[in-house]
Each structure stands twice: as C-alpha cells, then as structure tokens.
Amino acid sequence: MQNIRIEKTTCPKEKPGNDNPLTFGTIFTDHMFEMDYEEGKGWYDPRIVPYHKLELEPSCMVFHYGQEMFEGLKAYKTEDGRVLLFRPDKNIERANRSNNRLCIPEIPEDIFLEALKAVVDVDQDWIPTKPGTSLYIRPFVIATDPFLGVRPSHSYKFMIILSPVGAYYASGLNPVKIWIEDEYVRAVKGGIGEAKTGGNYVASLASQVKAHDEGYSQVLWLDGLHRKYIEEVGAMNIFFKINGVVITPELNGSILPGVTRDSVISLCKEWSVPVEERQISIDEILEAAKKGTLEECFGTGTAAVISPVGELRFENDRMAIGEGKIGELTQKFYDTITGIQLGILSGPEGWSVEV
Ligand code: COI
C-alpha cells in the first residue's frame, strides 16, 4: 500500500465553540485527503493537505455530465478519548458499488480505510463532544478530464473533507413532517437510484422546494413505475411500525442501501422485533393510519441518524403519527445506535472501528 503523505496547515482555523449549533455541513476542518487517478497509472499520491480551494478546468467532465460519487459517515470521540468510526467497511463497500455503476474506477479498500483513519486522526481535535454532535466525513470522487464528449473520464480526484455537525434537521429529535410526492419521481429500477451520486439528489430538489413551501421538511418518494410503492425519503431510508411489526421497503435497485437502515434491521433481529423488508403500497399506509395501527414512523441515515416522523401528507390526506412525540421503539433505536457510535454500548462485531 502507498504511504499517505501528510502536510499540516501552518494557520489552523478557529474551532467552533461549545455554544455553536453546528448547523449541518457549514463548517470544515483544517485538513482534507486527496488522491488522483489516471488511466494506466491507477490511484496515486495519497496525501493529507490543508483544506483548500480546488483549481479545475471549467471543461472538467464532472461539471457537465455529473460523473461523481459521494459517501457519508461519522466519527465520534468516546469519554476516554478514543476516536471511533461507525461501520466504515459498509461505506467503502457501497462507494465501490456506486463507482462500478458510474464507471468510476474502484478505490482499493485498504487505502480508503487508511485515508479515513488518517484524516480523522489529523483533525481529531475538531470532533465535537456535545450530545447529538459528531464529525461528519464526506468522501467523494469527481471526474476531472477536460473534455466535452460523453464517455467515462480517464482521470479522477478522490477527496475526503470533514465537518463538525449537530442534528441534520433543525428540529433535532422532534418529529419531522414529510410530504409524499405525487408528481415527480426520484429514480427508476435500472437507473442510478441505488448509487450514491449527486444526480439522485438534484432530481429531488424541485419536490423539496414544493414540500418546504407547504411546511414539510422532506419528500417521501413513490416508485417510478406504478407511483404506488414507498421508496425512500430525500436524505434517509424510511421505516414504519404497523401493528407491532417494523416494515421498510426492500432494496429493489432504485433505493439507497443505507448503513443505518441495515443497522436497524440487524437490531430488530437481535431484539426479536418482527421486521419485514418488502413492498409497501401507499394504500397500506393510508389504511393503517385510518385504522390507528400506524404506530411509529422514522427515517434512518448517516446524517439524519434516526429521525422520528410526526406527519405524512399524501395529496389531501394528512396522517398524524405519535401525537407529536418520538415513538418508544424509535427512541430505543436512536439510543442504541448513538450509544454504540459513542462507545457507551458495545455493538455487534465490527460496528466500531478505532482510528
Ligand atoms: C448521509 O446521510 O450521509 C447523506 O449522504 C445524506 C445527505 C444528503 C446529507
């Protein structure tokens, strides 16, 4: 494996104070990881350098055809000062699945993990420790060929940047209101819906603006073919608890395979809570809401962690869930997953990786 070169900043930035709300994705640390790729040469020159602006040709392919992959994971500091990553192997695996779909060369897993550990280690003093905060890690690859024809790029840049963050939603652990979209779709089977790439998020913006205007914080997507089956929310996977059973849409090729989603399913199995991954129609949700059997609803994601949903709106139907409070099982998932992330609880083998 190639050695990671480290060049430390000579002018460190002021770190946010304890009273800073750490609005998601607004503050960046002193350093970043960078590595380049050229066809015939492979990935080369892994390095940690001061966080800096990029100099790129305006003709770079990423600007025109969106050939890019990104990931998201978090680092936490334990009470005894250790630094933990949560299931980084899952993000690395998913990054390379996305890369394959997007014709981006795979990143060797050992270099990827070493890069994550090394850059977090260099900036570990930026990891916030107030409850509900963490260091968000954003690895991403962009296509850098200066070329306007449509084909896979021959050169790429892989970067990792770090951001101390609080809750993804301004409402914190208070339930969010979600708009079920009936006009646009996010992805279709065979498309790029299960890859983590900007195109899936830009496809969501028009609906998100519409939902915000109506007072909803996120959009829940229905499938692109029948416009009938539940898929996922803008920044999270979705779970329902109906009649004591935890249900989430199955991974069908157009849904993002979330790491927190996988963790919740594993915990259900460990706790003997019935859990089903299957098709869920909007009619089933409307009916459960009418009968009063829609007991809990929550989203899962790296940024969102576990976010309770307090209202679902579909056309003229408003489905209120949990009387404005987080559900009991939702709270248990939140406490357990954040407890494992912070090293307070021990999780299944391999979930916590020390830097
Ligand atoms: C994450 O949860 O890490 C994500 O990538 C969602 C993002 C859109 C904030």
Coil, strand or helix at 87: coil
258: nearest Cα among 71, 83, 115: 71
Coil, strand or helix at 65: helix
d(CA 95, CA 69): 7
Distance 86 CA to ligand 1 centre (A): 15
- pLDDT at res. 171: 74
Using the atom order of ligand 1, give the atom closest to the CA of residue 72.
3
- pLDDT at res. 168: 87
Whose Cα sits closest to atom 6 in ligand 1?
Answer: 235
The list of the chain residues with pLDDT below 70 reads: none
313: nearest Cα among 168, 171, 173, 176: 176
d(CA 323, CA 311): 9
- pLDDT at res. 16: 95
Using the atom order of ligand 1, give the atom closest to the CA of residue 196.
5
Position 186, amino acid: R
Q: How many CB atoms neighbour CB 56 within 10 A?
A: 13
d(CA 32, CA 72): 15
Q: 173 and 308 in contact (C-beta within 8 Å)?
A: yes
Q: Helices 88-101 and 109-122 meet at what angle, rounded to 10?
A: 130
Ligand 1 pocket mutation, candidates 232, 300, 302, criterion most atoms within 8 A of CB: 302
Pocket of ligand 1 (CB under 6 A): 72, 201, 235, 301-303
d(CA 201, CA 256): 11
- pLDDT at res. 170: 78
- pLDDT at res. 72: 96
Ligand 1 pocket mutation, candidates 23, 135, 168, 208, criterion most atoms within 8 A of CB: 168
- pLDDT at res. 1: 72
- pLDDT at res. 122: 98
Tokens of 10: 């000579």
Distance 306 CA to ligand 1 centre (A): 13
